[in-house]
Structure 1
Amino acid sequence: MEDSYKHKGMRRRLIQKLREKGIMDQSVLQVMEQIPRHVFFEKAFLEHAYQDKAFPIGHGQTISQPFTVAFQTELLKVKAGDKILEIGTGSGYQAAVLVSLGAKVYTIEYQKPLYLKTKEFLPELGYSPFFFYGDGSKGLAAHAPYDKIIVTAGAPTVPTALLSQLVEGGILVIPVGDNEVQKMLRLTKISNKKIEKEVFTDFSFVPLKGESGWK
């Protein structure tokens, strides 16, 4: 894996752009500056790796815009040792960010070719979350509860299964809306009967697939 001075310089400029856009969590910025995002791209598309935009990775999925990754991660308030469920493994980039922050990451992917590819590829880079194939809209009850859950696809509603799999005090970050635009939500589980909801700016994600997602 080549990570040249040129790549590092491009990452520094990207991180500066994220700061200018309002990302303040220094730990998030630091790990994103360390992770070689270009290795998640085919060589032919290398010039796109450090642009602040989403990029297709096949099977109707994208590698999220760096700002989106940073924003969702910042909302999660990740602490070392957190047990985190990621819905939508995709390229594995978001999982790499969470692992680098010291989290114990469980990640689930609905598209089998992506699951098989990323399960092999990500550990080769030194990032080893626990990989699962299946319907992420149902969460991953077998390994619950989780301190944090992050959803990297747009959902029509908040799947109740995800809230039930959070610890008390746990956080769910999820984009909710229609097929075009979603509001980013941060839901904090105060108790089984009380959820605190915060609503943030508009985003545009690929649709969440599965029983509680878009059919």
Structure 2
Amino acid sequence: MSQTQSQTAESSRSPLIASLPSDHSEFSEIRQRMVDDQVRPLEVNDPRIITAMRNLPRELAVPPAERGFAYADRTLPLGNGRYLLQPMLTARIVQTARIAAGERVLIVAAGTGYLASVVASLNAHVVALESEAELVRQGHAYTDVTAPGIIWHQGPLAEGAPENAPYDIIIFDGAIREIPSFCVTQLAADGRIVGMMGKSGDICSAFLAEPDRAGTANGAAGTFEGWATRLSFDAPAPLIQELLPIPAFAF
């Protein structure tokens, strides 16, 4: 697949989908318990998020070996350095973004598309960016079932998805050390960035960043001055390795 957006699903079905039994209703009760025990107690009060997570088949978004843990309070490996964040992290990150219907949202390191599907359930226009070809294939298969309107873009994470920019919101599906430079040009002037920021160790802080611009005398937008960032809760989250800063050369 080329490094351009792809809106057509692969003709072959992903093993995440094909290996499921024809009847997976046994997950329904566990899904409801996940929301009641892990999501709602943590001040996730947006009814749209609650409804989405009660209905989206999280078990379809993980490899067969992890399916028994799909609704556990843990982050699960997807392969190729990507992870499915634990349910409470997904819910709280999406709530932090304050997504309104019709907004354009870029999901970076989208994995198999679960978080992208939650966001799409809020009537947002979603672009899912993933660099790993196999995960893009699996993500297509998942979102063809859960949120057919999602646009998938395969390409380097550090370059974003300029073809569909600007975005009202950019969400990182994993932790980052710093905001990548592509956000400067691909985020709308009044947009926001959401994710987990990890400065050191395993604990990260949820953040919401907005452009900090120098205004002019009449209040019009001026030059870009960086990011105005607000931190909220702390939680462990895996770093998106592809977006780690390149170490500076030292003599």
TM-score (structure 1 length as normaliser): 0.88
Question: Could you say which structure has the greater relative contact order, defined with CA pairs below 8 angstroms and 6 or more residues apart?
Answer: 2
Equivalent positions of 1:65-84 (< 5 A) are: 65-84=86-105
Q: 1:118 & 1:65 partners in 2: Cα distance?
A: 18
Q: 2:43 aligns with which of 13, 16, 22?
A: 22
- Give deviations 1:23-63, integer Å, cap 9, x for gaps: 12111111111111112234443321111211111122211
Q: Which residue of 2 aligns with 1:213?
A: 244
Whether 1:118 and 2:149 are equivalent positions in the alignment is no
- Which shows bigger deviation, 146-155 or 126-135? 126-135
Shift of 1:127: 3.2
Q: 1:189 aligns with which of 211, 222, 227?
A: 211
Whether 1:88 and 2:120 are equivalent positions in the alignment is no
Q: 2:24 & 2:65 partners in 1: Cα distance?
A: 16
- Give deviations 1:89-126, integer Å, cap 9, x for gaps: 11210011111111111111122221232223421444
Task: Supply the AA of the counterpart residue of 1:26.
Answer: P
Q: Which residue of 1 aligns with 2:27?
A: 7
Aligned-residue RMSD, C-alpha = 2.1
Q: In the superposition, relative to structure 1, how do residues 103 and 2 fare at CA in structure 2: closer, same or farther (>3 Å)?
A: farther
Q: Which residue of 1 aligns with 2:221?
A: none
TM-score (structure 2 length as normaliser): 0.76
Equivalent positions of 1:136-155 (< 5 A) are: 136-155=157-176
Q: 2:128 & 2:87 partners in 1: Cα distance?
A: 19
The gaps in structure 2 that reach 5 residues or longer are 1-21, 214-223, 247-251
- Which shows bigger deviation, 58-67 or 160-169? 160-169
How many aligned positions are there? 213
Q: 1:59 & 1:44 partners in 2: Cα distance?
A: 15
The answer as to whether partners of 1:35 and 1:97 remain within 8 angstroms in 2 is yes
The answer as to whether partners of 1:119 and 1:131 remain within 8 angstroms in 2 is yes
Q: Which residue of 1 aligns with 2:202?
A: 180
Q: Which residue of 1 aligns with 2:120?
A: 99
Other structure's SS at 1:154 match = strand
Q: In the superposition, relative to structure 1, how do residues 125 and 25 fare at CA in structure 2: closer, same or farther (>3 Å)?
A: closer
Q: 2:66 aligns with which of 34, 45, 63?
A: 45
Which of the pair has more CA radius of gyration?
Answer: 2
- Which shows bigger deviation, 191-200 or 66-75? 191-200
Equivalent positions of 1:162-173 (< 5 A) are: 162-173=183-194
Q: 1:195 & 1:49 partners in 2: Cα distance?
A: 35
Whether 1:161 and 2:182 are equivalent positions in the alignment is yes
The gaps in structure 1 that reach 5 residues or longer are none
Whether 1:202 and 2:234 are equivalent positions in the alignment is yes
- Give deviations 1:170-206, integer Å, cap 9, x for gaps: 1100222246332221012364447432112223333
Q: 1:131 & 1:8 partners in 2: Cα distance?
A: 28
Task: Supply the AA of the counterpart residue of 2:236.
Answer: S
